[in-house]
Structure 1
Amino acid sequence: MPENEKTIVHTSHAGGAGWFVAVLLLLLIAAGVYYVANNGFTGQKSVNIELKVPDPSGNSG
């Protein structure tokens, strides 16, 4: 190899802190999903949704 050429080798290793942050975020997301699924933001146990769609034929009876 000529003297004016250089070889650069870059090796990347995943650090323990990165994996810790990833696991922590997954746990927080799982806890949030559990909270919303069980209590929701209002704390009500049931939700009633009523949709009134007009009759396309124009009959109201």
Structure 2
Amino acid sequence: MGKKYDNEFKSMIVDLSKSGIRTKQLSEEYGLHTSVINRWKQEHDLKGGDFSKNKPKSENIKNL
């Protein structure tokens, strides 16, 4: 299982990336894989900065 990072750390990495620091540089400096950083940026945009594991509940519609 991978290492767990708190929401504050993830937000900091995303903010640094959005400030113009390249993903590769962040990867090297913080020991993160570039795909992890890219996923965090995507999650940040989709969830409005909320990295919590709670996902919105979707209604299950079953065809009878």
Band the TM-score falls in, shorter-chain normalisation: under 0.3
Name which structure has the greater RCO, CA cutoff 8 Å, separation 6+.
2
Q: Normalized against structure 1, the TM-score is what?
A: 0.28
Q: Normalized against structure 2, the TM-score is what?
A: 0.26
Give the helix-richer structure, 1 or 2.
2
